[in-house]
A and B are shown apart, each in its own frame.
Chain A
Amino acid sequence: MSTEVLTPEAKPAEPLFSKKNRALITDPLNDNNPITVQVLGICSALAITVKMSNALVMSISVLAVVVVGNVIISSLRNVIPSRIRIIAQLVIAAGLVTLVDIMLKAYVYDVAKQVGVYVGLIITNCILMGRYEAFAMGNKPWPSALDGLGNSLGYAWILLVVAFFREIFGSGAVMGMRVIPESWYSVNGGFYFNNNMMILPPMALVIVGIIIWIQRARNTKLIEAA
């Protein structure tokens, strides 16, 4: 706390959305995406993307936990002893996730049932620990909030893209609304079958692999050295 009192006032206050702060939000959307570049938070990204509505609920939950957690940890960063910081971070994360879990059960019970254990697993979602440890422990609350926001948005768009493809090919719907008409299906005399492979776990991995492929083909500085 004392360090903040000593900061000279001559330094002009940084505007809330300075260039540096804007980069905190935009970088994780592409160049530094938590899923495809930092490889964080894969478990939940793959497991709950069978339907877009589940992916949306999961994204919002992660967004809430990362942003609020980042702010809390960044305000406590001078108080938390560095030796027990992992446990302190885990406890804060677990507390927030418990709140989210109770809220989900109260307001969207059906989705909460389907998302199941993966809400609990937000605690060990690497995005959380990664951002808490790498950013919030060394930065002020406001940039930390933006960093949390940027990273969870980067996480959310990958989740939604994967879920979009899995839902449209796997069950012929988007956000639970039917896009492929019933009359096309072979049971009704049509020619169309749902691709059941899309609902199964392996295709989620393949779709993420293809997203990474496309992203790196467009953004060549992300290509890994051979």
Chain B
Amino acid sequence: MVIDQPFSAAGAQTPPPRSAVTEGRATRVALTVIALLFLAVFLVLPLVIVFLQAFANGVGAYFAALTEPDAVAAIQLTLLVAAIAVPLNLAFGVAAAWAVAKFEFKGKAFLTTLIDLPFSVSPVISGLVYVLLFGSQSLLGPWLAAHGVQILFAVPGIVLATIFVTFPFVARELIPLMEEQGTADEEAALSLGASGWQTFLRVTLPNVKWGLLYGVLLCNARAMGEFGAVSVVSGHIRGLTNTMPLQVEILYNEYNFAGAFAVASLLALLALVTLIIKTILEFRYGDALSGSTGH
């Protein structure tokens, strides 16, 4: 994945000698209007509707829906799952990206493909894998039951499914960045007597910090928003194993539309915040993100 360069800075200083487009004004306006309309209908409108519906019964009802015990439990569970899954994938993502980008070894291409696997697998399958692995009817099931370990239909299962689904985000973000930066900085550090660990902490990591933050943001957004895989392993116990997206579905199915959209509005807010931070990162640290310069 290559991150777009911000183009606003360059345009202002060097006025182009002639227009780069040959189309007439009308065509350009028409195309712009179509693009904007498209955005409005498919992105802005649904978002507006979510918030309108959420507040349909008033502000009081909105906050009542969010402080209702099952909703609070869903929010807490979602935060907990993200708090476990995201750091683990951060550690894994950095380790994997480091290994793939900075070293040559056998099976590297295979590892890269493996990292991408969760992107190409349907989330439902991602959930079912854990049912087949840890379910009562599975190979491990009886052993787990005998030792009183509950993985499926409890927090660990939800965490595992979330980790699987959000696996590639950090690594995918870092690998192209690290590859582009090459190993020159690391070689210099090593030649100056730094240990491998020092090199990693002081050279490699600072070089990719904005890309890393970006990957973590995406990973977090998906971890909190995942529906399919989590739905399969959750068991849908109210107030216990329902994450926010599952809670939205339940409330919707119970004709509690204001409640459903209130919880949905939190998820939409999360998406908006992610988007804003992402835009700021791209705007301010576009260079570092794309890896064209060092630190």
Question: Is chain B found bound to chain A in the same assembly?
Answer: no
B residues near A, CB below 8 A? none
